[in-house]
Amino acid sequence: MAVKIFSGRATAYLADKIANAYGEPLGEVIYQQFSDGEMSPFIATSVRGHEVFLIQSTFPPSDNLMELLLMVDACRRASAKSVNVVIPYFGYARQDRKDKPRVAIAAKLHANLISAAGASRIMTCDLHADQIQGFFDIPVDHLDGAYIFVPYLKSLGLDNIMFASPDVGGIKRARSFAKFFDAELAVCDKHRKEANKIESMRLIGEVDGKDVILVDDLVDTAGTICKAASLLKEKGARSVRAVCTHGVLSGKAYDNINNSVLEEIVVTDTIPLKGDSSKIKVLTVSNLFAKAIRKIHDNESISSLFMKL
């Protein structure tokens, strides 16, 4: 049973690298579009009886999700043996619960749509909340960005490393890094009344003289990360860096980062960057996903792709 790898338009830059790392050419998808914007992707090669991997992150606009759903449906109707959906960045994951009256749980709706389209399996990286895996009734391979970040952080050779979470919700992720490096942990406790607007922030922990690494799953406007970095420097940190798997980087993110005290912010290529900054370093997840695809195809465990954090 052969593997066929295809990509949506939004993630073609990454899918090409994943296919090259896997050693299988990227399959051709022809995109037809009506004048009103309605799209119709056409899988140009036969997938009958094959194990198909469709690669597409679902960041805005919503057309990226719709395009993915149409490709899943097309492959299923073309008698693919299995349709594995590879979503390096799973959009709408921040809306994972009903935190106030009359709001949608968009992450659950996102999961329902993918399952209803006919996906056999989901592969993604660093969901905003681990419990989103439970929104699916099909297998979910939840890869860990630490596999990419840990070797890079080791290469920096920092003498007095310490890890910090920019908010209380990210403590588990930051603690995992701290445990792996046998380092201390600090927490920046933030309070905000609405999305992307921080009212106040205070530090829990001692960071004087430390090389602090802020850890988060994504960076959007970079307001939280930059404010946390300033607070850490004010409290005596020798240097502050950040590792964030998904570089959403919207609004004034680039200005915020360029004007911040951050030494650098390290992201992956799950989302294409919209601009350039000397403070932003991009690491690729292509080898990680290529290895996961091979192990799934060979019916092997993917446990070796996780750092023992």
Binding site per annotation, positions for ATP: 36-38, 94-95
Name the residue among 246, 219, 265 with its Cα closest to residue 87.
246
Q: Are 279 and 258 in contact (CB under 8 A)?
A: yes
Binding site per annotation, positions: 36-38, 94-95, 128, 167, 192, 216, 220-224
Name the residue among 139, 148, 146, 147 with its Cα closest to residue 163.
146
| Residue type, position 292, single letter | A
Distance, CA of 309 to CA of 284 (rounded, Å): 20
8-state DSSP, 127: -
In the numeric block, which tokens belong to residue 306? 């996780």
Concatenated DSSP letters for 75-125?
Answer: HHHTT-SEEEEEESS-TTTT--S--STT---HHHHHHHHHHHHT-SEEEEE
Name the residue among 20, 26, 248 with its Cα closest to residue 126.
248
8-state DSSP, 192: -
Residue recorded with tokens 């980087």: 249
**How many other C-beta atoms lie within 10 A of the C-beta of residue 151?**
11
* Active-site residue set: 190
SS3 38: coil
| Residue type, position 214, single letter | L
Residue 127 sits at the vertex; the CA angle it makes with 180 and 186, to the nearest 5 degrees, is: 40
Binding site per annotation, positions for Mg(2+): 128, 167
Q: Are 227 and 203 in contact (CB under 8 A)?
A: no
Distance, CA of 27 to CA of 164 (rounded, Å): 42
